[in-house]
Amino acid sequence: MARVILHADANSFYASVECLYRPEAQGRPLSVCGDPEKRHGIVLASNQQAKRHGVKTGMAVWQAQQICPGLIAVPPDFALYKHFSRMLRDIYETCSDRVESFGLDECWVDLTNPGFTIEDGERKAQEIRLRVREELGITVSIGVSDNKIFAKLGSDLKKPDAVTVVHPDHFRETIWPLPVSELLYVGPKTTKKLMDYSILTIGDLANAPRHVLKYKLGKNGLVLQDYANGLDRSPVKPTTLEEAVGSVGNSITPPHDIRTPEDARCIYYLLAESVGARMRDSHLQGQCVSISVRTTGLASYSCQRRLPFATNVTSEIAGVACQLFESRFTHALPLRSVGLSCSALSMEGTPVQMDLFGHQARREKQHRLDCALDDIRRRYGNLSVVRGIVLAEPRLARVDPKDDHTIHPQPFFTG
């Protein structure tokens, strides 16, 4: 039975939602931005008018305003974006019970049924596109194919408000001439490695010697070549938006540069409070702790450590983060920003092996203490109880990162 897979991608999602609530922004360039006064001054998303002026995601706000006079810069409202994301899912789920989230603004939808063709999938995609525009006031671009990779590529080919079919019988004409970087999970580093072997297009990747790809990229090189040849058979796994989150993380650009290891330790405890509390709220625990740093020269680095156990205990998360930083990044000081996340998530209550030394009992006691602090903060605010290490820097003691969080989609290679 031939598969029929859609990939729906909301166009300029954050900016499109903001324009609905700002009549003065209709027809004018608008960007969702961080706060320059808090040194978060970068562009997160832009509408089509701003993009036509050259405004790009990640650009400093002052640069965006320089190349686009009259740009409307607005702060992000993640609660509103999640609300619209759920309404999008409601529409997709009227067509299929097999809907897989890939972040807030993207979903795969599996329409496979006996006798249902790619042409039927195109008609259904057009119906979805019109419903989203008429019912929600925003637009989506939808790719239609027989696999997730090509459906994703299709949704990127025509924007905004379009449906693109990548037919399994004719994909070579459509897909192979594209730059290899357009293929899902061929990032900048992988692109550079492939270019060293004159693999510039998806077609080059599809026809490259397999032993070269395995030598250069390992197993993932062979997987990417299968994707380039339309051989992806990964299923659309029904998920909720929450289940699509593969890690819980937070980052912060503090009021001043991070100049000493003590400054970094203070901030990682602050971030661990946020990450640990959000995992406990969702009854999750993580087994992998990752940290990232960004220097004052805007170079970015990261590292991670997998733990022998899963945890959502704040002190354990912060302790690992500080160890990673002190072993890897003290030479990079001063820093502009840092981040912390936990991945390899599992549900609380998963059975664990007890030890002879009482470590698990102490961890459970610390977990109960964290939960008690969570209750106090829910009632009196996130800043009602702070750690002494954070009070060493008065400006940081007023920072509340818990609700200013990031959402990370489940990595595609997982599973």
Domain ranges, ordered by start, for the chain: 1-167, 176-243, 245-409
Question: For 132-136, 239-243, 292-296, 345-349, which range has the lowest pLDDT when averaged over its residues?
Answer: 239-243
Residue 373 is predicted with a pLDDT of 85
Helix (H), strand (E) counts: the chain = 16, 13
CB-count burial class (<10 Å; 0-12, 13-18, 19+) for 173 = exposed
Which of 37, 93, 100, 106 is catalytic? The answer is: 106
159 vs 293: CA distance, rounded Å: 34
Residue 35 is predicted with a pLDDT of 65
Residue 399 is predicted with a pLDDT of 59
Residue 412 is predicted with a pLDDT of 43
3-state helix, strand, coil in the chain (%, to 5): 45, 20, 35
What is the share, in percent, of the chain residues with pLDDT greater than 90? 52
Residue 356 is predicted with a pLDDT of 55
The CATH number of 176-243 is 1.10.150.20
356 vs 399: CA distance, rounded Å: 40
Whether residue 287 contacts residue 348, with contact meaning beta carbons closer than 8 Å, is answered with: no
pTM over 0.85: no
Better pLDDT: 254 or 328: 328
Residue 407 is predicted with a pLDDT of 41
Q: Is the pLDDT of residue 409 over 50?
A: no
What band does 101 get if pLDDT is binned at 50, 70 and 90? confident
Q: Is the pLDDT of residue 332 over 70?
A: yes
**Phi, psi (5° rounding) for residue 90?**
-60, -40
Query: E-strand spans in 129-216?
Result: 140-145, 163-165
Better pLDDT: 270 or 163: 163
Residue 357 is predicted with a pLDDT of 56
Question: For 201-210, 230-239, 375-384, which range has the lowest pLDDT when averaged over its residues?
Answer: 375-384
Residue 381 is predicted with a pLDDT of 74
Q: Is the pLDDT of residue 414 over 50?
A: no
Whether residue 236 contacts residue 109, with contact meaning beta carbons closer than 8 Å, is answered with: yes
Give the pLDDT mean for 184-188.
88
Question: For 57-66, 155-164, 357-366, 369-378, which range has the lowest pLDDT when averaged over its residues?
Answer: 357-366
Q: Is the pLDDT of residue 313 over 90?
A: yes
Whether residue 55 contacts residue 46, with contact meaning beta carbons closer than 8 Å, is answered with: yes
CATH C-level class of 1-167: alpha beta
Topology annotation, domain 245-409: Dna Ligase; domain 1 (3.30.1490)
Q: Is the pLDDT of residue 402 over 70?
A: no
Q: Is the pLDDT of residue 80 over 50?
A: yes
* Average pLDDT along the chain: 86
Return the closest-CA partner of residue 359 out of 395, 323, 313: 313
Residue entry with tokens 């593969």: 246
Residue 131 is predicted with a pLDDT of 97
Residue 354 is predicted with a pLDDT of 57
Residue 364 falls in the annotated catalytic set = no
Residue 355 is predicted with a pLDDT of 59
